[in-house]
Amino acid sequence: MLPVARWMMRGMPQAAAGAAVASLVPWLFWLGAAIAGLVTLRRGLAPALPVITAAAVPAGWWWTRGDIIPLACILLVTLMAVVLRSRMRWSEALIVGALAGAAMIQLGLFLPPGGVGPLLEQLRQGSPEFASMLEELSRQGVESEPLAELLIAGITGLIVMLAAVACLALARSWQAGLYNPGGFREEFHALRLTPRELLVLMAMLIVGALLVLPGVGLMLWVAPLVAGIALVHGVIGLKGMNGLWLVAFYVLLITTWPMILIVLLAALIDAFVDIRGRLGRSD
């Protein structure tokens, strides 16, 4: 897709047109978000506003049709691109993006337009097992509607955040391919949380728990997860291991919860130990 990015960067009209068309076509919003992220990374927020607007307008139209995911993804990618461009730290961009995603969850932006009541009623009528589960929750004093709202908003927010991170990575890889070949690989392999950033995350989680803001707890683990994935990439790159190791890693990551926990734990340890730095010195 690098030739597409090269054509987009020839001028603002091409980038704006590409972002608008991609955001308008169903299931291509990620491409519009990546184009907006690329222009923001390369030229800054103010020069990229026409492209961001061109991507946001069709995405806003989809919002009026009941789908906020394209617009939310574009906004998160743009925000993280601004932070990454100014601070040159993936970890800070991920933390800021996670906080923005948490705010979207708390504001209820990811809930269905008519609320979850009609959806619960439809599921209750279509599935006796689901209806009995709701009755059991009601007997235990658990209100089904707030729980369903949290689950729907939380899962949707996580999907949007992960999609935004992937779009930002695509935009960064385009930027490196066009202007700094090999730079993205080096940058991603070096991604790690610092002890200070980890402490900030822990403080935010505690504040979110005290203020009963579940969106904060749902979103802030994305930064350690991405840092753990970068750690695996970095170790495999340092050791010159076969690419099949990455394939096996992603298969396990997608299909098993224990692998996700292992990756998170590895990222936490790496924040204090710097595993890649120690491996590099030993080599």
pLDDT given at position 137: 66
Give SS3 for 202.
Answer: helix
Cα R_g (the chain), whole angstroms: 21
Dihedral in degrees, nearest 10, Cα atoms 262, 253, 33, 173: 80
Cα(158)–Cα(101) distance, rounded to whole angstroms?
Answer: 8
Residue predicted with more confidence, 283 or 263: 263
pLDDT of residue 242: 86
Task: Specify the pLDDT at position 142.
Answer: 67
Helices (H) and strands (E) in the chain, counts: 16, 0
**pLDDT, tens digit, for every residue of 226-242?**
999 999 999 999 888 88
DSSP states of 197-213 = HHHHHHHHHHHHHHTT-
Residue 130's pLDDT band, with cuts at 50, 70 and 90, is low
Pick 40 or 111 by higher pLDDT. Answer: 40
pLDDT at 176 over 90: yes
Distance CA 217, CA 150 (A): 12
Query: Would you kindly state where each structural domain of the chain is located, as residue ranges?
Result: 1-112+151-189, 192-283
Query: How do residues 184-227 score in pLDDT, each as one tens digit?
Result: 999 999 999 999 999 999 999 999 989 888 899 889 999 999 99
pLDDT, position 26: 84
Report the percent of the chain where pLDDT is more than 70.
Answer: 96
- Is the pLDDT reported for residue 123 higher than 70? no
Where residue 274 falls (left for φ over 0; alpha for ψ -120 to 50; beta otherwise) is left
How far apart, in whole angstroms, are the C-alpha atoms of residue 164 and residue 166? 5
Q: Kindly state the tokens that stand for 170.
A: 């695509």
Mean pLDDT of the chain: 90
**Torsion-angle region of residue 111: left (phi > 0), alpha (psi -120 to 50) or beta?**
beta
* pLDDT of res. 140: 74
Residue 129's pLDDT is 73
Q: Read out DSSP for 46-67? A: HHHHHHHHHHHHHHHHHHHTT-
Do 81 and 171 touch, CB atoms closer than 8 A?
A: yes
**Quick one: pLDDT at residue 283?**
62
Instruction: Report d(CA 60, CA 74) in Å as an integer.
Output: 10
| Dist CA 68 CA 62 (whole Å) | 7
What pLDDT is stored for residue 268 in this prediction?
94
For 71, 99, 220, 223, 266, the CA distances from 102, given in Å and listed in that order, are 15, 5, 8, 13, 24
- Please tell me which residue, 153 or 40, carries the higher pLDDT value: 40
Is residue 134's pLDDT more than 70? no
